[in-house]
Chains A and B, each alone.
Chain A
Amino acid sequence: MARQTHPQIVTANDLFEGDVIYLTASGDWSRDHGDAAVAHDGEEAERLLGIANAQPGRIVGAYLADVTIGPDGRPQPVHFREAFRTRGPSNYFHGKQAEA
């Protein structure tokens, strides 16, 4: 297993809407990246992923994504792909950015 270099969160797509969603500490899902529960070690990350995968009737394609912790204590995406997923396409103002 590759060495974990960043804290991680669990993200997926909502089964019904297709939206990008994030697993929160309560085991529910939020559309806001900042609400995601953060795993600081591999064991905790696997536990969170297990919670997500136990909800196949709600979500599709859960996976772990690297984050950093921002000055406000909330997670921030590391990779540009995950940054795009937080706000939607850049060609129109019509993704999550329009609904925030």
Chain B
Amino acid sequence: MNAPLRRVGVVVMVLFGLLFANLNWVQAYKADEYRNSDYNGRVQVAEYERKRGIIEAGGTPLATSRETGGELKFLRSYPKGEMYAHVLGYKPVNLADTGIEKSENEFLAGTSDQLFADRVRDIFTGNQTAGGNILLTLSPRAQEVAFKQLAENRKNVTKGAAVAIDPATGAIQALVSMPSFDPNPLVDHDSKKAEAAYNQLDNNKDGPLKNRALSEILPPGSTFKVITSAAALENGYTQNTQIPAGSSYLAPTAGVPIRNAVPSICPEAQVTLKEALTESCNTGFARLGVTLGAEKLKAEARKFGFEDEDLTVGRLNDGGQAVAASRTGSMQTPDGRDDPPTLAQSSIGQNDVRMTPLQGAMVAAAVANNGRQMRPYLVQQQLGPDRTTDYYTAVPKELREPVSPQVARDLQDMMVSVVQNGTGESAQIGGYRVGGKTGTAETGGVNGDQGWFIGFAINSAGVPVSAVCVLLEDAGSGGSAEAARISKEIMRAVIADRGGR
């Protein structure tokens, strides 16, 4: 019986050979496919093995992680709920991540190359490496005021945005989009619950998931007159140059005349440039635009940051959330000549001109900072897991110089006049030089017009403290005055947070 036994031995060898060959196939040849399969939950679980870092601003923790005892070891939580939602974003289990949670994911998760040394050290000390921490530029007080004032605005507007920037550095002091959402249910470890919460927000017609401050562009209305003014000042005009105005202006070839908001505004045939801005004289700026021409107007807007498709807000050296490009639109006929009717409309921020609230704040900031526009940023510092090692500290960067210091000072004077004598009176702050520009853009929407305000505050030492843009969508009449009032509250909060400096 030994011969068949030996053959059985051969069969055993063959069967084991097959097993061995197949294991090689699965664990060596196909390993990468299996390791990175969408069905493989191991990668995801591994991500939750390590404690994700904290996101904080001004000493206030905004995103934290706590141990659960479950398979996914750490649950992300956002103690401030809706207030910071659009800045922080969220880091869900199965959905896509957004905001700072997305742009700083590697550092927060502790997988960043920068933290390599920490991970190596922790292998030897046996500590579980935690993720790094992110410190934001936000002023908690300003953010809180911006959120509350927007949410409880006196016009009962449901959609809008507010952005505040430090004009001297570009550090973002507040960034709110309304309506907001609570990110906590979206990061629930029960992915069915998280998905349901997401779908509910996604189906909401007011679009709470949209970041209106960065990614929505809307007609800026009269706030655009600041740019038209800048174009004039750069082309030989002064604050006191008399420009033609009047109660009505019918541009060549236009069918419908441009009128002022109310008949009492600049009915005179001529007003100074400063008066035109102070009173928001539509006919004056429409004529001015047609006189200057489309090229000059568009070039000026570009100098302030319009048409910039590459701007991101996050760290200054890399990454961050993308910002939608603001547009001037076409003001020319197809054969390249100026089209007076659209040019006239565009000069007062109508027609195809579109702007993000961030862009509005950047325009005001550049004016306040004597013509130097700083690149906006949100991440002040990257701190290591131990909170002592500094991996990155923001060094403010100049983005561009839209106007000369002289032109900037003229614009400052004109905008201060708007707040002191004109349409932006509700933005006044005692002891500060506050300048601004209101805007009401006719969109033909159900509830009427967009209410805008862009403005800045300069302290008694001449240092710009804050530049703000507030937008109230479909606000109807008086929307821009309410936006000016909210801007004032935000700037006051910034001033209080800086200890009056």
Pair from one complex? no
The residues of A with any CB-CB pair to B shorter than 8 Å are none
